[in-house]
């Protein structure tokens, strides 16, 4: 049996480890257009910020492929899937046959068409090569002013990293507020204030309509309202959309991401999809959707990898989760946390604007469906457990918001089900 994986990131690692846990004989090949061994994308901002060296990006030891008897085919782009013929075609004209195929191509950065986009000094921020490009640009040309387009998780991470490099950042966000997908308006305001305190100009409800250049390099952007902003580097950190290019033109069913069942099987025989490219089950909203986070990618990869070698472990679903830090203040959101003014939901909040510290719990039918923590995040693990396990917290609701809230606050019968932990680490 030959298993072929396209993409070499969190999903691939999950698949390889689950597959090898039960099967030593299958031949496993991983195709990746990137040249590096598996690295952690969540650490890219720490690399950009100068907090870690590139060697610390490694997600697994360098002998991972040998240890797991996997053939890496690096710097090779898969260009098409021949579904009928059970083979993957690559850019160099090779056809790679498979018995089972996992599409783990992740996401592609969203970049709105903007005149001047090809100017030197304009970057996206999803790959190690992007960070290396930004670092060499800054090293070669210097510069202290950056424009970051996007006020979501990726834009915030890029901004925080550039601040750590001592740069002045202007953040441009199209929506009326930053982090709208993860935070409610109060938490969003706290994070905006923190950015302001750190010297960031946060421009919401705006966008860059044109990129200006001088001597072939980016020198500024023009905003929709006509205002110019000078900069030496520009980063599009808007987020990603599922990288479904490979299945265009096939019969494989795609909505926003590739449609999969609870074993990560696509609509085509012997083809799986998992990670940022797939639309898998979100147990909080009770529907399939793309949730582009590392733990989901690893878990879904593991389900697909096991199923390829005959182990049927259905996916129990994932939970959306975002962890960021601005100016040393951490924030975490879990589940359906940004809901505001919706019927049938209850909102428990505790705000200390000056600290800043904020806790917001969202409940529906006595069950926790979302949580936001700003400043003090050490209960994130237990709230995540309650959300994931859909535990009835009716009897413990008085204690829910307490800083002492813990497993002991729950009725005995639930304690063994709940995940514990100090915050969420990726
Ligand atoms: C800057 C940044 C910070 C993040 N921080 C966090 C965080 O703190 N916590 C968190 O949970 N998540 C975070 N994420 C999200 C997380 O990294 C992703 O959810 C995760 O990497 C998805 O893994 P994946 O395996 O699905 O795909 P990806 O990691 O996107 O990898 C896909 C791989 O497939 C390759 N590929 C694509 N098409 C082809 C092709 N045709 N041929 C060959 N190779 C191909 C790509 O080059 C890439 O190497 C962050 C993401 C970014 C960009």
Give residue 40 CA to ligand 1 midpoint distance, Å.
8
Give residue 271 CA to ligand 1 midpoint distance, Å.
20
Q: What is the pLDDT of residue 426?
A: 33
Judgement on whether residues 14 and 101 belong to the same structural domain of the protein: yes
Residues 6+ apart with CB under 8 A from 270: 86, 98, 99, 100, 101
CB atoms under 10 Å from CB of 286, counted, come to 8
Q: 176: burial class by Cβ within 10 Å (0-12, 13-18, 19+)?
A: exposed
Judgement on whether residues 98 and 126 belong to the same structural domain of the protein: no
Judgement on whether residues 194 and 211 belong to the same structural domain of the protein: yes
Give residue 148 CA to ligand 1 midpoint distance, Å.
20
Judgement on whether residues 231 and 248 belong to the same structural domain of the protein: no
- For helices 10-22 and 294-308, the axis angle rounded to 10 degrees is 30
Judgement on whether residues 251 and 396 belong to the same structural domain of the protein: no
Q: What is the pLDDT of residue 410?
A: 67
Judgement on whether residues 250 and 227 belong to the same structural domain of the protein: no
For ligand 1, mutation pick of 40, 57, 105 (most atoms within 8 Å of CB): 105
407 lies in which domain range?
339-415
Judgement on whether residues 227 and 248 belong to the same structural domain of the protein: no
Q: Model's pTM, two decimal places?
A: 0.94
Q: What is the pLDDT of residue 419?
A: 45
Domain boundary among 285, 308, 331: 308
Q: What is the pLDDT of residue 222?
A: 97
Give residue 39 CA to ligand 1 midpoint distance, Å.
10
The verdict on whether omega for the bond into residue 356 sits within 30 degrees of 0, i.e. cis, is yes
Q: What is the pLDDT of residue 238?
A: 95
Residues 6+ apart with CB under 8 A from 394: 366
The CATH number of residue 11's host domain is 3.50.50.60
Q: Whose CA is nearest to atom 39 of ligand 1?
A: 105
Domain boundary among 223, 238, 253: 238
Judgement on whether residues 256 and 192 belong to the same structural domain of the protein: no
Q: Assign residue 126 a region: left if phi > 0, alpha if psi is -120 to 50, beta otherwise?
A: alpha
Q: Whose CA is nearest to atom 12 of ligand 1?
A: 293
Judgement on whether residues 148 and 193 belong to the same structural domain of the protein: yes
Is the four-CA dihedral 262, 268, 270, 271 of positive or negative sign? Answer: negative
For ligand 1, mutation pick of 18, 29, 41, 59 (most atoms within 8 Å of CB): 41
Q: What is the pLDDT of residue 397?
A: 82
In a domain, 214, yes or no: yes
In a domain, 252, yes or no: yes
Give residue 295 CA to ligand 1 midpoint distance, Å.
11
pLDDT in tens, 253-306: 999 999 999 999 999 999 999 999 999 999 999 999 999 999 999 999 999 999
In a domain, 115, yes or no: no
Judgement on whether residues 234 and 183 belong to the same structural domain of the protein: yes
Give residue 279 CA to ligand 1 midpoint distance, Å.
15
Provide residues with CB under 6 Å of ligand 1. 6-11, 31-34, 41-42, 44-45, 77-78, 104-107, 125-126, 154, 157, 243, 246, 275-276, 292-295, 297, 323, 426
| Ligand 1 atom showing the smallest separation from residue 77 Cα | 42
| Ligand 1 atom showing the smallest separation from residue 426 Cα | 9
Q: What is the pLDDT along the chain (426 residues), one digit of tens a residue?
A: 999 999 999 999 999 999 999 999 999 999 999 998 899 999 999 999 999 999 999 999 999 999 999 999 999 999 999 999 999 999 999 999 999 999 999 999 999 999 999 999 999 999 999 999 999 999 999 999 999 999 999 999 999 999 999 999 999 999 999 999 999 999 999 999 999 999 999 999 999 999 999 999 999 999 998 889 999 999 999 999 999 999 999 999 999 999 999 999 999 999 999 999 999 999 999 999 999 999 999 999 999 999 999 999 999 999 999 999 998 999 999 999 999 988 999 999 999 999 999 999 999 999 999 999 999 998 899 999 999 999 998 888 888 998 888 766 666 656 555 444 444 433
In a domain, 318, yes or no: no
CB 239 within 8 A of CB 150: yes
Q: Whose CA is nearest to atom 29 of ligand 1?
A: 9
Judgement on whether residues 129 and 200 belong to the same structural domain of the protein: yes
In a domain, 114, yes or no: no
Task: Look at the chain and report how many structural domains it folds into.
Answer: 3
d(CA 370, CA 387): 7
In a domain, 423, yes or no: no
Give residue 369 CA to ligand 1 midpoint distance, Å.
26
């Amino acid at each position: 049996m030959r298993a072929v994986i396209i993409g070499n990131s969190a999903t691939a690692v999950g698949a390889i480890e689950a597959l090898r846990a039960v099967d030593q004989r299958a031949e496993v090949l991983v195709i990746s257009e990137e040249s590096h061994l598996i690295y952690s994308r969540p650490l890219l901002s720490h690399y950009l910020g100068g907090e870690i060296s590139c060697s610390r990006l490694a997600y697994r030891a360098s002998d991972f492929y040998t240890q797991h008897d996997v053939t890496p085919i690096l710097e090779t782009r898969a260009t098409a899937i021949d579904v009928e013929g059970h083979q993957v075609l690559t850019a160099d004209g090779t056809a790679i046959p498979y018995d089972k195929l996992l599409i783990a191509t992740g996401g592609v950065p969203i970049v709105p068409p903007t005149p001047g986009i090809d100017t030197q000094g304009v970057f996206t921020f999803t790959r190690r090569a992007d960070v290396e490009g930004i670092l060499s640009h800054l090293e070669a040309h210097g510069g202290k002013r950056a424009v970051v387009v996007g006020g979501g998780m990726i834009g915030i991470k890029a901004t925080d990293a550039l601040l750590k490099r001592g740069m002045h950042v202007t953040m441009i966000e199209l929506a009326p507020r930053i982090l709208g997908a993860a935070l409610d308006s109060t938490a969003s305001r706290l994070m905006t204030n923190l950015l302001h305190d750190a010297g960031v100009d946060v421009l919401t409800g705006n966008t860059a309509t044109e990129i200006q250049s001088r001597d072939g390099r980016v020198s500024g952007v023009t905003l929709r309202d006509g205002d110019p902003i000078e900069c030496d580097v520009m980063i599009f950190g808007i987020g990603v959309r599922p990288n479904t290019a490979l299945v265009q033109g096939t019969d494989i069913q795609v909505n926003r991401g590739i449609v999969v069942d609870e074993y990560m099987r696509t609509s085509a025989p012997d083809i799986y999809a998992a990670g940022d490219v797939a639309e898998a089950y979100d147990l909080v909203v009770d529907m399939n959707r793309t949730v582009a986070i590392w733990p989901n990618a690893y878990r879904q990869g593991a389900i697909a990898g096991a199923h390829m070698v005959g182990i049927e472990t259905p996916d129990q679903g994932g939970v959306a989760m975002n962890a960021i830090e601005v100016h040393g203040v951490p924030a975490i959101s879990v589940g359906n946390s940004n809901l505001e003014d919706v019927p049938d939901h209850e909102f428990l909040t505790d705000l200390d604007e000056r600290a800043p510290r904020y806790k917001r719990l969202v409940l529906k039918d006595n069950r926790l469906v979302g949580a936001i923590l700003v400043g003090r995040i050490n209960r994130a693990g237990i709230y995540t457990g309650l959300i994931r396990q859909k535990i009835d917290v009716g009897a413990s609701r008085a204690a829910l918001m307490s800083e002492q809230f813990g497993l002991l606050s729950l009725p005995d019968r639930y304690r063994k089900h709940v995940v514990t932990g100090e915050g969420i680490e990726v």
